[in-house]
Amino acid sequence: MRNRILGIAGLTIRQAIRSRFVISLFFLLLALLAGFALTIKGDGTAAGRLQMLLSYAMGSVGVVLGIATLWLACGSLSIEIENRRIHLVVVKPVRTIELWLGKWLGIISVAMLLLLVAGLFLGVAGHIARGRSHPDSPDGRALRDRILVARQAVSATRVGSQDGAAHWLLACPAAVSAQGVATLRYRFVAHLRDLPPVTGRWTVRTPDGATLFETDCIASMDGVNQLDIPLAALRSTTALDLIFHLQPAGEGTPQHVTFHPRHDVVLLFPCGTFAGNLMRALLLMFCQVALLAALGLTVGTIFTFPVAMFTASALVLATLFAQFFVFSSAPERSHAHEHHHHDDVTHVTWTETVGEHLAVGLRFAMAPALRYRINGRLAAGETIPWTEVHDCAGILIFCYSGLLCALGCLMLKRREIALPV
């Protein structure tokens, strides 16, 4: 069985390489990454530039590789069925699962190779950025402490306000290094644009009231604010009490602030290297690409290549945008429902109802697959834990791809391969 699967995988890889698919994609990715590296300016600092490069590059690599993988997978079986090359394979002692798995392994190996190239490029870009900036300069420190690092995010729990100060409680991770900084991240609600910054004072205490760290800050009303806290100050405790005092600076400055309800106050503790985090981010992306390969292959067992590509793309887009269908249709529906009692009926058509149910169903079915964010976290130096990689592999590869594999094998078994298409 292993021999046959590896044989089919090897054939798929050879075909992808010799048809110049891999080489074209390789140069496209390199051009894309090099283009970003040469043109992105960010906020003018090395840290800002690298952060934006990581964010754009990971997003673009994901999209390009996703489309390319879907293309390769949709064509892999459907084109062979169309040009009848599959006849010489299926008359050999090959089980349908061996054929499907062999193709899938071949396609994801090609994707893995290209992901490694992208990963290597970004790793080298990070290394160059680190080498070019002075380690003791503010830019060098920001690069080292906020971007080229893996930081564990610990959310603080709001415990209320007292004497005009906001309070949070937070549990420290078990092992905190003595060197480096932890970063406090917070965000305000701003109802108007271009509000002047606010001044305030952050105090970090132990639960029994001993002050560990205290600093004044000037915080922006829109966007994310970050504050570095030396780790040496936090070593001796397992829990922290965070307090923010607003200090209105004068006329025209906000006299009170509201912390953003959907963005927790978070303390980021360094817990690993950028290289490790990049590798885990690539693994998450690999799992997503593997799912796309499974989808393309299975759809390719049912339809001809163009129809398979269209169907698979439509499914992916519908999954990604299902949440918007749900959000956009829900208020209208409740609005119509209210009017129903006042004989001013705005009818909800059956197509809207069916569409909403389909969107809700699709979103429900695909929710576990959609919860893995990659590029924003890597660019923010936020760690992607191994547990998440395991979960992602289990859900995307073993559950979803496994289901698609079963469906694909069933279709291959039932299908009359030699029927004219």
Partner 1 sequence: MTENNTILDVVKLTKIFRDFWRRPTVTAVDGLDLSIRRGEIFGLLGPNGSGKSTTIKMLLGLLHPTEGSISILGGRPSDVAVRKRIGYLPEASYLYRYLTPRETLSFYGRLFDLPAAERRRRTEELLAMTGLESAADRAVGEFSKGMARRLGLAQALLNAPELLILDEPTSGLDPMGCRQVKELLRALADQGTTILLTSHLLADVEHICDRVVIMYNGRPRAAGALQDLLATPERMTLDLPALDAAATKRLLAVLREQLACEPELSRPTMNLEEFFVRVVNEAAEDPSPANAAGPHMAPFLKQ
- Report d(CA 140, CA 147) in Å as an integer: 10
Minimum distance between the CB of residue 420 and partner 1, rounded to whole angstroms?
Answer: 8
Residues whose CB falls within 8 Å of the CB of residue 114, separated by 6 or more in sequence, listed in order: 22, 25, 26, 29, 65, 68
- Report d(CA 61, CA 70) in Å as an integer: 14
Helices (H), 83-155: 86-90, 96-132, 138-142
Kindly tell me which of 390 and 413 has the beta carbon lying closer to partner 1.
413
151: buried, middle or exposed (CB in 10 Å: 19+, 13-18, 0-12)? buried
Kindly tell me which of 75 and 200 has the beta carbon lying closer to partner 1.
75
Kindly tell me which of 282 and 412 has the beta carbon lying closer to partner 1.
412
Q: Which of 3, 179, 351, 387 binds partner 1 (CB under 8 A)?
A: 3
Kindly tell me which of 94 and 195 has the beta carbon lying closer to partner 1.
94
Q: Which of 92, 127, 235, 390 binds partner 1 (CB under 8 A)?
A: 92
Judged by CB under 8 A, how many residues of this single chain contact partner 1? 28
Kindly tell me which of 6 and 64 has the beta carbon lying closer to partner 1.
6
Q: What is the DSSP letter of 148?
A: S
Q: Which of 28, 67, 94, 233 binds partner 1 (CB under 8 A)?
A: 94
The amino acid at residue 376 is G
If binding is defined by CB under 8 A, does position 79 make contact with partner 1?
no
Q: Are 118 and 29 in contact (CB under 8 A)?
A: yes
Q: Are 221 and 188 in contact (CB under 8 A)?
A: yes
- Report d(CA 145, CA 142) in Å as an integer: 5
Kindly tell me which of 14 and 127 has the beta carbon lying closer to partner 1.
14
- Report d(CA 123, CA 126) in Å as an integer: 5
Strand partners, 225: 186
The region of 49-57, 91-99, 107-115, 289-297 touching partner 1 under the rule CB under 8 A is: 91-99
If binding is defined by CB under 8 A, does position 91 make contact with partner 1?
yes
Reduced to 3 states, what is the DSSP secondary structure of residue 245?
Answer: strand
Site for partner 1 in 10-29 (CB under 8 A): 10-11, 14-15, 18-19
If binding is defined by CB under 8 A, does position 192 make contact with partner 1?
no
Kindly tell me which of 10 and 123 has the beta carbon lying closer to partner 1.
10
The region of 1-9, 122-130, 262-270, 309-317 touching partner 1 under the rule CB under 8 A is: 1-9
Q: Is the dihedral of CA 58, 63, 64, 70 positive or negative?
A: positive
Site for partner 1 in 392-421 (CB under 8 A): 416-419
Q: Which of 60, 67, 95, 195 binds partner 1 (CB under 8 A)?
A: 95
Kindly tell me which of 80 and 145 has the beta carbon lying closer to partner 1.
80
Minimum distance between the CB of residue 40 and partner 1, rounded to whole angstroms?
Answer: 38
If binding is defined by CB under 8 A, does position 85 make contact with partner 1?
yes
Minimum distance between the CB of residue 9 and partner 1, rounded to whole angstroms?
Answer: 10
Helices (H), 303-392: 305-340, 350-370, 375-379, 386-392
- Report d(CA 5, CA 102) in Å as an integer: 4
Interface residues toward partner 1, by CB under 8 A: 3-4, 6-8, 10-11, 14-15, 18-19, 83-95, 416-419
